[in-house]
Amino acid sequence: MQTRIGSVGSLEEGKDPVITTRTSQSKTLPLRALQLFGFFLALCIGFSIISIYTIRRFGIYSTVTTVKSTFVPCAEESNSLDHWRKPPSSLLHSMSDKELLWRASFVPRIKKYPFNRLPKIAFMFLTKGPLPLAPLWERFFRGHEGLYSVYIHSLPSFKAEFPSSSVFYRRQIPSQVAEWGRMSMCDAERRLLANALLDISNEWFILLSESCIPLYNFSVIYQYIMKSKHSFMGAFDDPGPFGRGRYNYNMVPEVNISKWRKGSQWFEVNRKLAINIVEDVTYYPKFERFCRPACYVDEHYFPTMLTIQTPNLLANRSITWVDWSRGGPHPGTFGRSDITEDFFKRILEGHQCKYNDQPSSICFLFARKFAPSAMEPLLQIAQKVLGF
């Protein structure tokens, strides 16, 4: 019995040393943590002192200051009127068509310009590639700088190689493939108008092809366009199969058949009508969806839309002469053997039209289609027949 009691007693007595050991360890732990924290604090203070000394000694602070001082605020040019008044320094840009049309649709609400604005004609060339008649146009433009702008829409793959002295030098705009008779052709025309609208001095916009030539000198054409009350776009009601016969009744209510019009692709419009064309989101979807070959959209879209919007501003005729007498889907083409004085008399004489609501015998300012072979005889006859 005593042995069991002793055993129990010794077990109970044996608890005290264990409890004592644990209590002693718990007292030592905070002391060590405090020592470590103190060492770490001293290390940080020492590092801070060394860093401050290094900055003062070796001028690291002045280096940081120099880097900050190189900051220059961007878009400073936009605060100047010149940013809006002067044409873009380059026709190349990264805008999408949607962005370009939006930007080109900007219109000043105050009609009077706060600077001396000399209105210009934008000559817009819609071409697949080269401009074989460029030498004739160079002669036409010579001496009239400041009164015109030139824009070229060609195939994206075409790289023009005009000399720096040429009026066509770096005048290509960002382009896309345009297919005859399809909406991509109207897209190209809108692209030309939109790029030309970025120059606020452009007041009139003439669409031309690589096979077009001027029929008068620059001064005559400039005065004719400037003094006209109307823009020159054909927009007539053709009741036959190639007019109303192309109409699709799915175009109502935006386009009623009574307003359906047809006209030449080659036009001249003023700035107001050019803006109407580039800002359009009402008629474009209808023509894109419901006017496809054999409905040739480039003959109907602009004439119909402008007849609905601003019929009083249209002369309802084109100023570009073409010869349809040979029949077929395309007008006649003229080469070297066709270029004679009698040929031009046939173009220039014997016509009657309305100009500012008055009878006129000057009805055409341009003509097409001329082959590259016509270039040399045209240069020879230009001074005598065309006046330049």
Average pLDDT over the chain reads: 87
78 confidence band (pLDDT: 50, 70, 90): low
36 confidence band (pLDDT: 50, 70, 90): low
| Range of the structural domain that residue 127 is part of | 86-106+114-316
The whole-number pLDDT of residue 59 equals 52
d(CA 270, CA 76): 32
d(CA 365, CA 363): 7
- Do residues 316 and 236 lie in contact, with contact meaning Cβ atoms separated by under 8 Å? yes
Say if 381 falls within a structural domain. Answer: no
Say if 326 falls within a structural domain. Answer: no
Q: What is the mean pLDDT of residues 73-90?
A: 71
Task: Answer positive or negative: Cα dihedral of 333, 336, 342, 344.
Answer: positive
The whole-number pLDDT of residue 45 equals 74
Say if 378 falls within a structural domain. Answer: no
Say if 102 falls within a structural domain. Answer: yes
CATH number of the CATH domain containing 295: 3.90.550
d(CA 82, CA 283): 35
- Do residues 131 and 208 lie in contact, with contact meaning Cβ atoms separated by under 8 Å? no
- Of 42-51, 81-90, 190-199, 297-306, the poorest mean pLDDT is in 42-51
d(CA 199, CA 193): 10
75 confidence band (pLDDT: 50, 70, 90): very low
Look at residue 61 and tell me whether its pLDDT is greater than 50: no
Place of tokens 């075409």: 158
Say if 121 falls within a structural domain. Answer: yes
Token readout for 373 is 């072979």
Which residue type occupies 352? Answer: Q
19 confidence band (pLDDT: 50, 70, 90): very low
Say if 282 falls within a structural domain. Answer: yes
The whole-number pLDDT of residue 31 equals 66
d(CA 25, CA 48): 35
d(CA 76, CA 22): 74
- Of 206-220, 244-258, 328-342, the poorest mean pLDDT is in 328-342
pLDDT, one tens digit per residue, over 157-170 is 999 999 999 999 99
Structural domain count of the chain: 1
Look at residue 226 and tell me whether its pLDDT is greater than 90: yes
Instruction: Please state the φ and ψ torsions of residue 366, each to the nearest 5 degrees.
Output: -135, 165
What is the DSSP annotation of 309-369? H-GGGB-SS-SEE---TT-SSS---B-GGG-SHHHHHHHHSS--EEETTEEES---SEE--
pLDDT, one tens digit per residue, over 290-325 is 999 999 999 999 999 999 999 999 999 999 999 998
Instruction: Please state the φ and ψ torsions of residue 266, each to the nearest 5 degrees.
Output: -90, 115
The whole-number pLDDT of residue 13 equals 39
The whole-number pLDDT of residue 328 equals 78
Say if 191 falls within a structural domain. Answer: yes
Entry pTM: 0.80
Provide, rounded to the nearest whole percent, the portion of the chain with pLDDT above 90: 74
Look at residue 69 and tell me whether its pLDDT is greater than 60: no
The whole-number pLDDT of residue 91 equals 96
Q: What is the mean pLDDT of residues 145-156?
A: 98
Q: What is the mean pLDDT of residues 369-387?
A: 97
Say if 35 falls within a structural domain. Answer: no
DSSP label of 298 = G
pLDDT, one tens digit per residue, over 264-295 is 999 999 999 999 999 999 999 999 999 999 99
The whole-number pLDDT of residue 48 equals 67
What is the DSSP annotation of 145-209? TTSEEEEEE--TT------TTSTTTT-BPP-----TTSHHHHHHHHHHHHHHHTSTTEEEEEEEE
